[in-house]
Amino acid sequence: MRIFNQHIPGIIKAYNQNKNTTGKVEDKQKVSKNDGVELSSEARYYAIARQALQELPEIDEAKVAELKQAVKSGTYRVNHEEVAEKILEENIFDKLV
């Protein structure tokens, strides 16, 4: 198979023309001043919520220590009604979402 470089000069010429017509950085900055993005109120709300979640500690060490102590001492009791309510709430929420 033979490869000819006959298209290379045309490519270089097109590149040089584009390079010369792109303008200076200042020209591009003038154009970009008119560009903008506007977020909806819902998007702003999600951004705030996401930031708040990222700032929360992943594990509540005090709560973990309290539960460990209750289990060790035998005073930890499961509230079956609360567990059932949470399961139902999660199920309903999953269906809505």
The answer to whether residue 89 is domain-embedded is yes
The answer to whether residue 73 is domain-embedded is yes
The answer to whether residue 30 is domain-embedded is no
The answer to whether residue 48 is domain-embedded is no
- Tell me: the pLDDT tens digits for 31-81? 556 677 788 888 888 899 889 888 888 888 999 999 999 999 999 999 999
The answer to whether residue 20 is domain-embedded is no
- Domain total of the chain: 1
Q: Which domain holds residue 64?
A: 59-97
What is the per-residue pLDDT for 1?
A: 47
For tokens 């539960």, the residue is 67
**Cα angle for residues 8, 9, 12 (degrees, 5° grid):** 85
pTM of the model: 0.33
The answer to whether residue 21 is domain-embedded is no
The answer to whether residue 71 is domain-embedded is yes
Cβ 76 vs Cβ 67: under 8 Å: yes
The answer to whether residue 78 is domain-embedded is yes
